[in-house]
Amino acid sequence: MLAKNLLVTGASRGIGRACALLAARSGWSVGVNYREDAKAADAVVETIAKDGGRAVALKGDVAVETDAVAMFDAAAKALGPLTAVIANAGIIAPTAKLADMSAERMRHIFEVNTLGAFLTAREAARRMSKSLGGAGGSIVLMSSAAARLGSPNLYIDYAASKGAIDTLTLGLSKELGPEGVRVNAIRPGLIDTEIHASGGEPDRAPVLGATAPLGRPGSAEEIAEAAIWLISDAASYVTGALLDVAGGR
């Protein structure tokens, strides 16, 4: 039986926070990664500790290679060998058409959402692969329904950055299957978290969520349920899956 040691990137808020809290309640020891908001990350760790769980806050920018490596090293030192990683860290920018986007904006989106996920997945592969001395495990990548919808007039750069995550999932699941590592992705729809405010539309989820077939936005906790299932033994024959959790949208 694999040890239940998990790293969640971008875990100080939103979907990442919900994943960390649910994982801890499910018996996982959790590395809570954050980039800037130490107070929020510490609050997640404190909540887990109060409930009898085990967690550690880990500062690091997933888009910076040295940070990514150090984050994994610190997680393993504090918790023991990792057997699951949820690559959740991601950003958006204010809504705009492609013609109005600067190269700087696009570069930043791809550095965090795509390169950051690739670096996270690479470090997980290096540590979990059986041929490299690991015990196997599970990687969950956070994509988006935007990857298949395109987000025209809104966030085409964000949508494209998440489309790359779908491709990473499909390819890496085939690379790592023989290594005992499962790789899956979740494609959330309109989820009511703080990320929309950073894009300049704090009410976007409730307003557009009402147009989904289920008639409402989703919650971070609903995405967490899917993520923790994917890293659990209950999903032991699931790899290469792109799981839509989008209310039918």
Distance, in Å, from the CA atom of 159 to the CA atom of 96, rounded to the nearest integer, reads 12
Q: Which two tokens stand for residue 237?
A: 């024959």
Check: CB of residue 155 under 8 Å from CB of residue 146: yes
Task: Indicate if 158 belongs to the active site.
Answer: yes
Active site residue: 34, 155, 158, 237, which one?
Answer: 158
Catalytic residues: 158
